[in-house]
Structure 1
Amino acid sequence: MQPMRLQSIDQFLIQPPQPENLAGFRRFLLEFWYFGIKEIRACLFVGLFFASILIVPKAGLFGLPRYDVLFVIALLIQGGMVWSKLETVDELKAVTLFHLVGFALEVFKVSGQIQSWAYPEFGYTKLWGVPLFSGFMYASIGSYIIQAWRLFDLRIRHHPPYWMAALIGILIYLNFFTHHYIGDYRWYLAACALGLYARSSVVFRPLDRDRSMPLLLSFVLIGFFIWLAENMGTFFGIWRYPNQLGAWSTVHLGKWSSWSLLVIMTFTIVAHLKHIKRHIHIAE
C-alpha cells in the first residue's frame, strides 16, 4: 500500500465524517466502532509483531533461527512505519529509546546472577543472552501510545508537574533493578503514582465528541493487555520464566502491576519527547 494511501486512511480516522442527528444507542455503536478501528490502527506495530510470533515456526525460516527471523521482521515493520510516514523520524527516536531501555532491562533480568527469565533458543542476534528482537516488545508499547495520541487527539487534564512525573518514572524503572538487592518498593511507587495522577484524566475523541477517563485507569488497562500478550509469548516458548520450564503456566498476575507501572514510565517519555506540553494542563 502506498504511503499516501496509508496517510489518507489516518486522516479519515482523525477527521471522520460528522454525523447528523445521531443520538442514543446508534451514537454509542458508531463511536464504539470508530474507537475499535482506531485502537486496531494504533496497535499496528504491536499486532504485526506479535502475529509474527504466532506465524514463525520454532525451527525458524530459511536457515535462520526463530529469534533472528523475528528481529528481521521487527526491523522491516519499523522501517515500513517510517517509510509510509505512519511514524515520523522524531517518533522513531522515541521508539528507539524504548528499545534501548527495554533491552538494558532484559540483559539484567536474564543475567546469571538474576535469572528472572530466559531465552532458551539459539540466535545469531543474541547479545548477553538476550535476542535483539526483545527490545521491540518494549518499543511496541511506545509505538502504541504515540499512534493513539495522534489518532484520538489525546489531551491530558491536570497532569502533575513534569519533574514529579519524571522522578516517579525513573524510580519505577530503577526498581526493576534494585528490588533484587534492597527490596521491592513497587507498591510504594504505585501509591505515589496514585496520588500523583489522582486528578489526571485523558481526553480522547473516538468520533466527533470528546470523551474522558481517569488517566490511571488507562495505565491499568494497557498493562492488562500487555500481560495477556506476555502470556502468549511464553505459551509459544519465545521466553520462559523459571516456573514454566517444566510445563507452561499462566504468568503470575502480579506481573500486571509491573506492566502498568512500566506504562507510566513509557507515557512519561512520550509526553516529553513528543513536545506535547501545549496539550497538557499542569495543575498549579
Structure 2
Amino acid sequence: MIRPLLASLVAVDAHLLGQRPLPAAARLPRFLREFLYFGIKEARACLFVVLFFAAVFTVPREGLLGLPRYDVLLVVALAIQFGMLAAKLETWDEFKAIGLFHAVGFALELFKTSPAIGSWSYPDAAYTKVLGVPLFAGFMYAAVGSYIIQAWRLFDLRVLHHPPHWMAALVATLIYANFFTHHFIGDYRWYLAACALGLYARSTVVFRPLDRDRRMPLLLAFVLIGFFIWLAENLSTFLQLWRYPNQVGAWAAVHVGKWSSWALLVVMTFTLVANLKHVKERIHVPD
C-alpha cells in the first residue's frame, strides 16, 4: 500500500514540475490557473506538516496501543521523514539539514521548558521525554525547514540580491541567541528585525507557480510563513500538544507577538537552507 502511494506522489511531483496544466485547468483564466497551481504546490510543500498534523488530530490524548501520544507522534514523524527520504523526495544533504533543524529546535525547547524559564510545558507523560521535552518536539522546527526545501524545488525558486552569506549567518546566529538571552539581558528582537529588514530589503524571491516566473519580496515571504506557523501554534495549543502558562486553566489564543518570533525563526531557517549546495547555486549575491 505504501509503495503505490509513494509512486503516486512521485507522479504528482513530476506533473507539478512540468509547465503544462491538466486539461480541465487549462480552460481556466490564467490568474485562476496559476492561483490553483500555486495552492497545490504550497499544499505539496507542506507534506510533512499536513501528515504530522493529521496524526495530531487523530491520535487520542491517551495514546494508542498502550503507547503515549507523544511517543506515537515521534514514530509518525520518523516514518514520514524516512518515507520522504526513501521516495527521494529529499536528498541526503537535505535530510542532514532537517536533522540540524531538529537539533537546533530541540535545544531551544530544552531551555524554554526548563524550570528556571518555564515559557511553556508539555503536560502529558511519554517514554521519549528528555528533561521534560518529548523528542517529537524538534520535528516541529524541522517541519519548517522541510517546507522551505520542498517549496524550493517545486517552485523552482531563485533569490535575487541576497545579502552576503556571512552577514545573513551573523544575523541568523544573533536571532537564535536572542531566544535564549532575552530572559537575562533584554529582548532585542525588534533591533534584529530592523537588521533583517535592512539586510533583505532588496532581496526578491523568483518563483514559478506554473509556466511563468513571478516575484515577491523575500521579507514578505518570511512574514507570511511566520503567520501560518503562528496559526499552527494556536491549533497545537488548543489540542493541548503543549501549553503556555496562561493556558493552564483554559485555552487562550497565543499572543500575536509570537508571530514576530516565528517570522525571525523563519529567517534563521532560511539561512540554513540557503547554505545547501544546490540551493546556494540559485542565490544571487551582488558583488
Q: TM-score, normalised by structure 1?
A: 0.96
Q: Is the 8 A contact 1:6 1:86 kept in 2?
A: no
CA distance in 2, matches of 1:92, 1:169: 21
Query: Which residue of 196, 207, 217 corresponds with 1:193?
Result: 196
1:148 match = 151
1:248 match = 251
Query: Which residue of 246, 263, 279 corresponds with 1:276?
Result: 279
Q: TM-score, normalised by structure 2?
A: 0.95
Mapping of residues 49-198 of structure 1, within 5 Å: 49-198=52-201
Matched, 1:238 2:250: no
CA distance in 1, matches of 2:115, 2:67: 26
Deviations 1:87-131 (A, max 9, x none): 111111011000000000000000010000000110000001100
Deviation, structure 1 residue 16:
3.0
Q: How many residues align?
A: 283
2:39 match = 36
SS at match of 2:281: helix
1:222 match = 225
Deviation, structure 1 residue 85:
1.1
SS at match of 1:212: strand
1:226 maps to amino acid: I
Query: Which residue of 201, 205, 209 corresponds with 1:202?
Result: 205
Amino-acid identity (%): 69
CA distance in 2, matches of 1:166, 1:87: 24
1:257 maps to amino acid: S
CA distance in 2, matches of 1:156, 1:81: 25
SS at match of 2:191: helix
Deviations 1:231-277 (A, max 9, x none): 01100101000000011000000000000000000000000024423
Q: CA RMSD in A?
A: 1.7
Query: Which residue of 6, 11, 14 corresponds with 1:11?
Result: 14
Q: Is the 8 A contact 1:91 1:274 kept in 2?
A: no
CA distance in 2, matches of 1:94, 1:277: 14
Deviation, structure 1 residue 280:
1.3
CA distance in 2, matches of 1:213, 1:258: 21
| Structure 1 runs not aligned, ≥5 long | none
1:47 match = 50
Q: Is the 8 A contact 1:175 1:186 kept in 2?
A: yes
Deviation, structure 1 residue 84:
1.1
Deviations 1:192-250 (A, max 9, x none): 00000000010000010000000000000000000000001100101000000011000
Q: Is the 8 A contact 1:204 1:212 kept in 2?
A: yes
CA distance in 2, matches of 1:86, 1:255: 31
Deviation, structure 1 residue 6:
2.7
Deviates more, 1:76-85 or 1:145-154: 76-85
2:204 maps to amino acid: S
| Structure 2 runs not aligned, ≥5 long | none
Runs of 4 or more, structure 1, over 4 Å off, are none
